[in-house]
Amino acid sequence: MAFESTRLQMHVVPAAEWGAAAARILEAELLLRPAALIGLPTGNTPQPFYAELRRLHGEGKLAAGQFRVLMVDDYLGAGQLATNSYHWLSREVLRPLGIGDGRVLRMPTDPAQMPVACAEFERQLQQWGGCDLMFLGLGPNGHVAFNEPGSGASSRTRVVRLNEATARANAAYWRGAFMPHEAVTLGLGTILESRAICLLVRGAAKSEVLRAALLEPETPDLPASVLRRARRLIVLADTAAAPDADIFPHA
């Protein structure tokens, strides 16, 4: 067995229920800690989750008044550009849920401030009490946040260069606009300090990388495999991403 199963919860749900299931994981956390610090990723994967949060908030059913948000990555130099992950997160989640800037621990993106700003970000993260629940997407190459293959399990927040596969996959989000090939990411060591991690996975294209991340021996070649060291790991997959759910250990 690849895990101490008490630390892993695996949820596999039909695609149509996936967004609501993700929202329930957040709601359960907010019930315990209304001012929790929540890590939120960008990308295609979390979109049904964020749509559900907007819906719940619109109906006055989400306790969104106090929780704080931690960014998990951003593009280097993105502050000056119109399209970037902070703006995306702001448009999709922060503004719709009424989460003001004072409740967001934003990833530094100014190249002139590196690497000092990364150390300062880590210090602030400690000052804010650390992350309570970090949602993460799973890259097609096994990256988490922008920790590409080869990232060390004890790595900290830093500037990284996106590898070719990631740059190609993400270019679609920029619709032809110039995309920086450098990013700032929480380190794997930083991520592992979260009190809980929820790995979000959708679609058949991620099924093999999810299987390998959870069941193959841990390796820096597959950064997501280190998530098995998390204090508590929740995996939320749709049935396409985990078609053979029985192979995974359940809590």
Residue given tokens 């908030």 in the structure block:
57
CA atoms of 199 and 211, how far apart (whole Å): 13
- Determine if 45 is a binding residue for ligand PGA (CB under 6 A): yes
Span interacting with ligand PGA, options 41-49, 53-61, 117-125, 151-159, rule CB under 6 A? 41-49
User: 80-119: which residues touch ligand PGA (CB under 6 A)?
Assistant: none
250 is catalytic: no
Span interacting with ligand PGA, options 39-47, 49-57, 123-131, 182-190, rule CB under 6 A? 39-47
User: 129-158: which residues touch ligand PGA (CB under 6 A)?
Assistant: 137-139, 143
Neighbours of 80 (CB within 10 A): 10
Neighbours of 225 (CB within 10 A): 22
Q: Dihedrals φ, ψ of 179, to 5°?
A: -110, 125
The helix or strand, by DSSP H or E, that contains position 74, with its residue range, turns out to be strand 73-75
Size of the site for ligand PGA (CB under 6 A): 7
User: Whole-number minimum distance, CB 143 to ligand PGA, in Å?
Assistant: 6
84 is catalytic: no
Peptide bond into 48 cis (omega under 30): no
147 is catalytic: no
For ligand PGA, the closer CB: 8 or 210: 210
Contact 39, 194 (CB under 8 A): yes
Q: Could you give the residue numbers annotated as active site?
A: 73, 141, 143, 148
